[in-house]
Structure 1
Amino acid sequence: MRVALVAVGLSSLVAPKMALSRLASRSVAMRSFSSGPLALGWPQHRRERRSGTRLGWLSGGALSAGFVLHSMSTAASEETATAPVAEKRPHKVWFGAPLEGAAGADAQKGEQAMTDRKFIVDPYYWLRDDERKNEEVLAHLHKENDFAVAKTKHLEELRKTLYEEMRSHIKETDASAGYDSGPFTYYTRTVEGLGYAIHCRRPRGAALETSEEVILDENEVSKQNTKSSQTNVGDVEESPNHTMLAYTVDESGYETYDLKFKTLGPDAKEIDEVVPEVDSGVEWGKDESTIFYTKMDDQHRPYQLWRHTMGTPASEDELLYTEEDDLFWMGIGKTLDNNFLVLETASKETAEVHVLNLNEKKGKLSVVAPRRFGVLYDVDHRDGNFYIVTNDENNKNFKLSVAPATAPGPENWKPLLDAKGDTVFGNGADVSPGARMLGSLTCFKDFIAVSGRYDGYRRVWVIEMEDGAKGDGSGGARLARECHEVQFADTAATPYIGSNAEFDTDKIRVGYTSMVAPSSTFDYTPKTRKLELVKEKEVPNYDPSLYATEVLQATAHDGQKIPVTIMYRKDKYEEGKPMPLHLYGYGSYGASMDPSFSATRLSLLDRGVAYAIAHIRGGSEMGRAWYESMGKYLTKMNTFFDFISAAEHLVDLKLTTSDMMSMEGRSAGGLLMGAVLNMRPDLFKAAIAGVPFVDLMVTMCDASIPLTVGEWEEWGNPNDAKYYYYMRMYSPMDNVVPQHYPNVLATAGLHDPRVAYWEPAKWVQHLRDNNLGDSEILLKMDLEAGHFSASDRYKYLRELAFDHAFVLDKLGLAEK
C-alpha cells in the first residue's frame, strides 16, 4: 500500500495501481524543461500528477492554445505594447487572533495565534475573485495575456520550429507496456493527431492487432465536455470481475470530478449512473457491487469516505467516515490481495490508517493505530499480517514492522526478521545525508517490493518471504528468507515500482530511467534476480551517445554538500568555456527531483543549453532530514540558499555565467523562484515561474483558501508570531524591493485550486512597480485551465514551445 507516505509528500517514491489521495500541497508536477515523475510515464498519486493518462514525454505546462488564439487577435504591436497597470486599492490583511464574534474561516487562526495583531497592506487584493467571474478582474487578465503575446510576437516562427522539433521526438502512435490483471492485459495508447489517451485491453497473451477492446477513449470523453476545453480523466478502474469500468472526469481544471460507469465486453455501454463532485481516486470493493470514493469540503480537502452500491442513486450512498481535523487529508487504496480497503487520513506530520475488511458484507472501518502527533505510517497486507512502514520511535528515515491483522496496534509492531535472525529494514534512525530511507511497499504472495532511497538515489528492494510461512505477526518467526536490491545498469538513475495488479505472481513490474535513458519497463523475477525488458520508450531522432550527464557537489552556506545533476550535449561543451544553462529547482514537501529523461528537453540541449537540477533541501534526495530538519518551518531559508549556492557553483566552475543562466520552478518551486529573484536577481538572465506560490503571507493566514490549514505544517502559521517574522523574511510578494530584476515569465490557470490565479497576477504588478531595469516581466493566464494547464497533448506541446522560446530569446539563442 502507498497511502500515508504519499500524503506526506514522498511523491518520488510512490508505486502505482492504487487509488490514492491528492497530496495536500502545491504540486510538484514539473513543467517545460524539467525532469522527474511526470517525464517518466508511470502513474503518480493524484495530488502530484496530471489527471488522466499521459505518456512519458509529457511533463507539465501552463498555457492553452485558446490563450494564444485570443491574444493574437487583439494584442498591440510589439513596439507599442505597454504593460497593464492594476489600480492600487490598499487593503489591510490582518494576522493574529480572530476578532471577537468571528466565525468560520475568519475564526480559524490556529491555537497559537498572537494577540498582538499585525497587518500587511495589499494594494492588489481586489484582484482576488473566488468565483472567477468578476468582469473587471477578467478584463485585466485579458490585458496581461495580450501584453505577453505582443512582447513575444517576434518569436512566432521559433515557437513553430520548436513545436515541430518536439513532435519529431515523439512516437505519436504508441502504446504503454500495460499490465496483466485476471484474463486481460490493460494498457493505454495514443494515435497520431488525437490529443488524448485511449484505454484498452486484450485477452492475456493475445496479439495487440487482432483482439483489442477499447474500454475508454478520452478523446470521446472530451467531445462530451460542453463546459470548457479542459477534460481531465482522473482514475480509470476496472471492476474485480472485469465486466465494468469506473472512471472520474474533471471538466473545468478545478479538480472536482464526476464518477461515471460503463459496462465492458461486446455490448459495452455507458451506465446512467453518476456520482457527482468527488475526488479523483476511487476503489472497487470485493466485487463490482460496491465502489468507494471520497468527497471534498469547501476548502477542496478530501474529508469524507463514501460507499456507493451499484444500481442505486448517489443520494442513498453510505457515509463511512468524516475527517473533522482540517489539517488532515484523506486518501483510499486497496491491498493487492483484494482483502482490505485502506483509508489513510494524514497531515504532513501525523497519519492514521483505517481498514475495512472487504470479505465482510457491509464491513465497517477499524483503526490500525490511533493518530499520535509526529508518527507517520503506511500499511499493506499479506497472509494475515499488516506490514507497516513507519517513522515511529525516532526512525526518521522509516523502518519496517509487522503486526497481526487481528491486533494491529502499535504495541504489536515487531521487526521483520530474516533467516539469520537479523531485522529487515529495522532501523531508520540514521539521518546522515544519503542514509537509507524507506518509501513505500507492495505486498505480493511470496515477496514484498520496497521502494526507497540510498546515497541520494531511488532504490528498489525485494524481500523474499519464507515458503508458506504466514507467521503470527509477533516478529519472533523468521518470515523473510532474504532481502536484496534490484540491480539496474546505472545506480545514478531512477528505478521505480511499476503497475502491478496481481497478488499471486512470480514477477514484479518495475521501471528505470535516467537523464539520458528513456524509461524502460521490465518484469523482474525475484527467484532468478533477472530483469526481462517489456518495453523501452521509443524516442525518434534521439541518439543518447551525443549527450552526457554527471553529478556535481555545490557547498552550501553552512557547509552541506548540495548535489546538482547536469546534462549537456557533448559537442556543445568546451572545457573552460561557459555555456548557456537552465537550472531547475523545487525543494518542498520532501519531494525529490530525481534524474529522468525528457524528450522535450532536447530542443534546448541541441541548441547548446545545458540543463541542471539542484537537489536542494526541502526535498528528500538525501533523506528525510533533508526535508524535515533542514528544509521546512524555521529552516526554510536553506532551500533558497542552496539554490543560490548551486548556481554560484556552476558559475565558479566556468560552466556558465549569470548572463547565460536561466532558472525555473513550478508551484512551490515558484516560491523558490520568487525568493531567489529577491535575494540574487543578478545571478540569472531569466526566470520561468509556473503557477507560482508567491503570496505566502496573505494566503497562509486565510483558512478559506484551499490548502492553507494543511500547509501550516509545511511553512508555519503566520498568525503565530514565531512563524510570522520568519515567513515574512522570505515571502516573495513581501520582499520585492526596488532593484534590477531579470526577465520573468509567470504562468497561471484561472481555475487553479492549489495556487490561486491572483497570486501571480499580483506578483507581476509588484515586480513591475519595483523593477529599475528594462527587463520583461510577463504573465500568461490560461482562462480555462487549472494547475496543470492544457489537457490536450498537442496544445500542451505548443505551451512548451512558448516557454522554450522565451528562455532561448533571453539567452540570446533565438536565432539558433
Structure 2
Amino acid sequence: MANPSEIKPPIAKKIPKLLEAHADVRTDNYFWMNNREDEEVINHLNAENAYCDAMMAHTKVFQKDLFEEMKARIKEDDESVPYKYNGYWYITKYEKGKDYPIYTRKKESLDAEAELLFDCNIMAEGESYFKLVGISISPDNKKVSYGLDLTGRRNYTVYVKDLETGTIAKDKIEHTTGSSSWANDNETLFYTKKDEKTLRAFQIYKHKLGETQDELIFQENDDTFGVAIYKSKSRKYLIIACYSTLTNEYHVLSADNPDGKFKVFSPRVRGLEYNISHYDGHFFILTNKDKATNFKLMKTPEAATNIENWVDVIPHREDTLLESLDIFKDYLVLSERTNGLNQIRIKRWDNTEDYYLPFTSETYTCYTGTNVDFDTEILRYGYNSMTTPASVIDFNMRTREEKILKEQAVLDKNFDKNNYTEERIWATAEDGTKIPMSVVYRKGIKLDGNNPLLQYAYGSYGSTVDPYFSTIRLSLLDRGFIYVIAHIRGGEYLGRNWYEDGKLLNKKNTFSDFIACSIHLIKQKYTSSQHLYAMGGSAGGLLMGAIINEASELYNGIIAAVPFVDVMTTMLDESIPLTTGEYDEWGNPNDKLYYNYMKSYSPYDNISAKAYPNMLVTAGLHDSQVQYWEPAKWVAKLREYKTDNNQLFLKTNMDAGHGGASGRFESLKEDAEEFAFLLDLEGINS
C-alpha cells in the first residue's frame, strides 16, 4: 500500500478566462472544466477519484464494514403500508438483496391476488442509473403512465403500459418531468416538457394515445417560471401550475372535457403566492394575499375564481405558519408550524370540531401521509423523532382512535431508543437572533469538549430540515459522535420571516447563523474545534463553502456534497439549468447591487491563502442542479491557495446526478465513504 505522504494530488492546469460584468473583471483559471464532453475534463475527474481512493485506501475495509453495518439495520424484504385509490390497494415492496422497488396492486381487497405493475429490478438490469417516477393510473384502471431517467439528469421519458396485456405502448414522450395526468376519457394524457438545454419545465402538451403529433396546450415564456400539470383530488379538474420563487398562477379545465380550453384561475401578481384545492363546488386557496406572511386559507366558488371573489376561511396568524392542507369529505386537515414544531389540526366542515393532534417532544417531525381517498374519516400521518423510528399511523378523525400500521424496523439487537438523548438548544446569532438546534447523542456522553460532533444544515429556499430519525446515523452516534441539525435562517423552521431573513440581501445570515451555532456548541463543551465537523449538500454545500472562508479555524473537517459554490458564474449564465428561476432566491447579478453582494460571499470567488479544514467534496457528472464543474473548479482552486497539509478530496460519481447513486443500497456506499472520512479524522477505524 502506498504511503499517503508520497501520493500527489492532481494539479489542474490553469487557462485564465476573464469574466466581466459591471466593469468588474474576475479571472477564472479553471473555466475550461465547464465541458463534460472534453476528454481532458473526464481525465481530470478520474484522476481526482483515483487520488481520493488512494488516500482513503486504508479505510476501504472499514468502509465495507460500515456499509454492511448500515445495510444490516434495514429490513430488506420490506413493503409500504397499502393505500386505496379508485377501487385498488397500492403496495410498494422491496425484496432481499434487491436495490429497486416493486410496485403492485390488489383489487378491492387486501386478500386479493397481487397484480404486478413494475419490477424496477428487472427494468434496471444493465443500467448504471435507474429512476422510475410519476406513476399515474388511468381512471378506468386499465393503463398506467410513468417516467424513466437513466442518467440521473432528471430528464425523463414518459411511457404508457397496458395493464390488461402488460404491453408497453409505442407512445414515447421525451424530455419531460416524468409526471403526467389522465383526462377522464382514459385516452388523453397531459404532460410537462422540459427545455432540452436549461431543463426548465416550460410547456404543457396534450397527447392522444396512439397519435404521433402532440398538441401544445400552454407555454410559459417567462424564464423565471416553471410549469406542472396535475389532477385535483376530487378528480374533477386538470390544473396547470405556473410557479416561481415568489409568484404563482393556475389554469383549470374540467377533466371530463380534455379538448376544452384551460381557464386562468386568477392572473399572476408578482409576490402573490397561492395554491388551490377543489372541494364541494369551491376552490380552497392557501395564500399570502393581504400581506399574510405566514399564509392563510381562503375559498372561492368554482365558477368565480378571480381574486376579488376570495374570502377568508382560516385567517393569518403571526405566530403560526400554515404549510399545507388535506381535504376530506367531512374534514379539513391543516399542517401548521408554531415555534418551529409541526402541528396537525383537524377541523370538521360543519365547525362542530376543531382540534390538534397531541405531540409533546421538541425534536420530532409529523406529517400527513398518502391520503388519496376523499370520502373517509381516516387520516394517515407519519411521526418520528431524533431517537424514535418512523411510524405510519391511521387516525380516525371522528372517534380520535389511532392505529399504528407500521413502525420502521431497526434490525440491530443492540438498538434501544432509550439509549439516546434528544434535545433542542438555542444559540445567539450576531444580531441577537436566537437560532434553534436539534441535538441527539448517546446517553452517558460527558459534555467536556472532547466529543466529535457533526453539525448539519441546509438553509435555503424556505426548505426546513426537521428533526428526523436515521438508522444510518446510528453508525456515528454509537461511536461517540453528537449529531446536530442547525435550523438556520433561509429555511422556514420559525415561519416565513425565517426564510425571508436568509435570502437575497439577507443571505449572509444563513452563514453567520451556522457559525454562531458552532461557537455555541464549542462554548457549551458539546465539542471543540479539534472535533467539530460540518456537512451540507447542494445549497447546503454553498453554506459549507461560505463558513470555511469565514471561520475555517472552527472545523476539523467538512463534507460538501454536490456544493453550489461558483455562485457568480452560474447565476450569470442563463443557459445553465435552474439559473433564471433562482433570481428571487439569490438575486439577479445583472443588477449591480446583487452582483456585489453575491460576489462578497460566493465561495469560489473568496478563496484566500490560508489554512482550510480537511475536506471531502462530492459531485455527480450528470447533475442537473449543481453542475459537476462547480465542485471540480472549487477543489482545484482550493488546492492552489490553501496553506495547510490537510486532506482535500473530490469524489465524482461518473454515472449519476444530483441525488447520487440510484440503488437502495448503492447510496449506502457513499454514506459509508463519508462516515469513514469523518471517523478516520477522529482515529476511529472499527
Shift of 1:646: 0.4
Shift of 1:188: 0.6
Structure 2 contact 448–527 (Cα < 8 Å) conserved: no
Q: Unpaired runs of 5+ in structure 2?
A: none
Aligned partner of 1:107 in structure 2 is none
Please report how far the alpha carbon of residue 79 of structure 1 lies from its aligned counterpart in structure 2 after TM superposition: 4.3
- Is structure 2 residue 200 aligned with structure 1 residue 274? no
1:694-705 maps to which residues of 2 (within 5 A)?
694-705=565-576
Residue 487 of structure 1: how far off its partner (Å)? 2.7
Pairing partner for 1:669 from 537, 540, 551: 540
Map Cα deviations across residues 335-372 of structure 1 (whole Å, 9 max, x no partner).
11100112111110111111111122423211111111
The residue that corresponds to 1:340 in the other structure is 237
Q: Specify whether residues 204 and 281 from structure 1 end up closer, same or farther in structure 2 by C-alpha distance, changes over 3 A only.
A: same
Structure 1 position 502, deviation (Å): 1.6
8 A contact 1:76–1:146 mirrored in 2:
no
Q: 2:467 aligned to 592, 595, 599, which one?
A: 595
Does residue 1:349 correspond to 2:246, yes or no?
A: yes
- With normalisation by structure 2, the TM-score equals 0.97
Aligned to 2:269: 372
Q: State the AA in 2 paired with 1:349.
A: L
* CA distance in structure 2 between the partners assigned to 1:339 and 1:481 by the alignment: 28
**Residue number in structure 1 paired with 2:55:** 151
Secondary structure at the residue paired with 1:754? coil
Instruction: Give the counterpart letter for 2:118 in structure 1.
Output: L
The match for 1:83 is 9
* Equivalent AA in structure 2 for residue 611 of structure 1: Y
**Offset of 1:506 from its aligned partner?**
1.8
CA contact under 8 A between 2:136 and 2:179: conserved in structure 1? no
1:695-749 Cα deviation digits (max 9, x unpaired)? 0011111111111111111111122111111111111001110111010100000
Partner SS, residue 322 of structure 2: strand
Deviation by residue 1:25-57 (Cα, 9 ceiling, x = unmatched): xxxxxxxxxxxxxxxxxxxxxxxxxxxxxxxxx
**Which residue of the partner structure matches residue 620 of structure 1?**
492
Would you say 1:389 and 2:286 are equivalent positions? Answer: yes
Secondary structure at 2:234 match in 1: coil
Aligned to 1:264: 163
The 1:427–1:540 alpha-carbon spacing in structure 2 relative to 1, beyond 3 Å, is same
Q: State the match for 1:426 in structure 2.
A: 315
SS of structure 1 residue aligned to 2:611: coil
1:136-167 superposed Cα distances (whole Å, 9 cap, x missing partner): 11111110010000010000111011011101
Cα distance per residue 1:682-702 (max 9 Å; x no partner): 101000000000000111111
The residue aligned with 1:609 is: 481
Work out the CA distance in 2 between the residues paired with 1:273 and 1:164: 42
Match of 1:505 in 2: 376
Structure-2 separation of matches of 1:142 and 1:443: 51
Runs (4 or more) in structure 1 with deviation over 6 Å come to none
The 2-side partners of 1:148 and 1:140 are apart by 12
SS in 2 for 1:714: helix
What is the identity, as a one-letter code, of the residue corresponding to 2:653?
D
Equivalence map 1:448-459=2 (5 Å): 448-459=332-343
Q: CA deviation at 1:795?
A: 1.4
Amino acid aligned to 1:247: Y
Q: Is the 8 A contact 2:340 2:495 kept in 1?
A: yes
Return the alpha-carbon distance in structure 2 between the equivalents of residues 514 and 508 of structure 1.
20
Which residue of the partner structure matches residue 530 of structure 1? 401
AA of the residue aligned to 1:172:
E
Q: 2:37 aligns with which of 113, 121, 133?
A: 133
Residue 37 of structure 1 aligns with which residue? Answer: none
Match for residue 191 of structure 2? 293
Contact 1:752 1:786 in 2 (8 A): yes
Structure (1 or 2) with the greater strand fraction: 2
Q: Secondary structure at the match of 1:441?
A: strand
- Counterpart of 1:584 (choices 432, 456, 465) is 456
Deviations 1:56-93 (A, max 9, x none): xxxxxxxxxxxxxxxxxxx9763432111111111011
- The superposition leaves residues 171-191 of structure 1 with CA deviations (integer Å, 9 ceiling, x where unpaired) of 011001121112221011111
Deviations 1:246-292 (A, max 9, x none): 11000111111111121224x42322322122112222222421221
In the other structure, the counterpart of 1:751 is 622
Which residue identity does 1:190 align to in structure 2?
Y
The 1-side partners of 2:265 and 2:669 are apart by 48
Q: Given that residues 10 and 48 in structure 2 are in contact (C-alpha distance below 8 angstroms), is that contact kept between their aligned partners in structure 1?
A: yes
Q: Which amino acid aligns with 2:452?
A: P
Contact 1:681 1:741 in 2 (8 A): yes
Residue 203 of structure 1 corresponds to which residue in structure 2?
Answer: 107
Aligned residue for 1:401, secondary structure, equals strand
In structure 2, how many angstroms separate the alpha carbons of the residues matched to 1:574 and 1:490? 23
Q: Distance in 1 between matches of 2:336 and 2:239?
A: 21
Q: Name the counterpart of 1:120.
A: 26
TM-score, length-normalised on structure 1? Answer: 0.82
Preserved contact between residue 554 and residue 562 of structure 1 (Cα < 8 Å): yes
Question: Aligned-residue CA RMSD in angstroms?
Answer: 1.5
Structure-1 separation of matches of 2:214 and 2:333: 35
CA distance in 1, matches of 2:357, 2:494: 20
Report whether the alignment pairs 1:464 with 2:348.
yes
Query: Comparing 379-388 with 446-455, which one deviates more in the overlay?
Result: 446-455
Taking the aligned partners of 1:94 and 1:449, their CA distance within structure 2 comes to: 52
Q: How far does residue 481 in structure 1 lie from its aligned partner after superposition?
A: 4.0
The counterpart of 1:171, out of the listed 62, 68, 75, is 75
**Which residue of the other structure, out of 442, 452, 459, is the alignment partner of 1:569?**
442
Contact persistence 2:449–2:522 (CA under 8 A): no
Q: Match of 1:532, SS?
A: strand
Summarize the Cα distance change of 1:196–1:802 in structure 2 as closer, same or farther, 3 Å threshold.
same
Q: Are residue 302 (structure 1) and residue 204 (structure 2) matched? A: no
Q: Secondary structure at the match of 1:674?
A: helix
Distance 1:290 1:537 in 2: 39
The letter for the 2-side match of 1:251 is: L
Q: Distance in 1 between matches of 2:651 and 2:13?
A: 19
Give 1:551's aligned residue: 424
Task: Measure the CA separation in 2 of the matches of 1:631 and 1:396.
Answer: 15
Alignment correspondent of 2:433: 560
Displacement of 1:488 after TM fit?
4.1
Residue of structure 2 in register with 1:813 after alignment:
684
Q: Does 1:212 align with 2:84?
A: no
Give the Cα separation in 2 of the matches to 1:196 and 1:560.
Answer: 44
Per-residue CA shift, 1:420-451, capped at 9, x if unaligned? xxxxx2114x2xxxx20111222222222222
Offset at 1:234? 1.8
Residues 237-246 or 387-396, more deviating: 237-246
Q: Distance in 2 between the 1:496 and 1:317 partners? A: 38
1:559 positional shift = 0.7
**Matches of 2:2 and 2:630, distance apart in 1:** 25
Q: Within 1, Cα distance between the matches of 2:426 and 2:375?
A: 44
Alignment correspondent of 1:636 = 507
2:559 paired with 1:688: yes
Residues 200 and 213, structure 1, Cα contact 8 Å, conserved in 2: yes
Q: Which moved more, 1:694-703 or 1:358-367?
A: 358-367
- Partner letter of residue 379 of structure 2? I
Paired-residue identity, %: 40
What amino acid does structure 2 have at the position aligned with 1:427?
H
Partner in structure 2 of residue 100 of structure 1: none
Counterpart contact for 1:259–1:275, Cα < 8 Å: yes
| Aligned residue type for 1:569 | R
Q: Is the 8 A contact 2:620 2:657 kept in 1?
A: yes
- CA distance in 1 between counterparts of 2:581 and 2:291 reads 23
Deviation at 1:549, TM superposition (A): 0.6
1:394 and 1:344 mapped to 2: Cα distance?
22
Q: Which amino acid aligns with 2:42?
A: L
Quick check: 1:659–1:811 contact (8 Å CA) kept in 2? Answer: no
The answer (yes or no) to whether the contact 1:357–1:364 under 8 Å persists in 2 is no
Separation in 2, partners of 1:283, 1:340: 11
Q: Does the C-alpha gap of structure 1 residues 577 and 694 become closer, same or farther in structure 2, counting only changes over 3 Å?
A: closer
**Deviation of 1:617 (Å):** 0.2
Aligned counterpart, 1:32:
none
How many residues align structurally?
Answer: 683
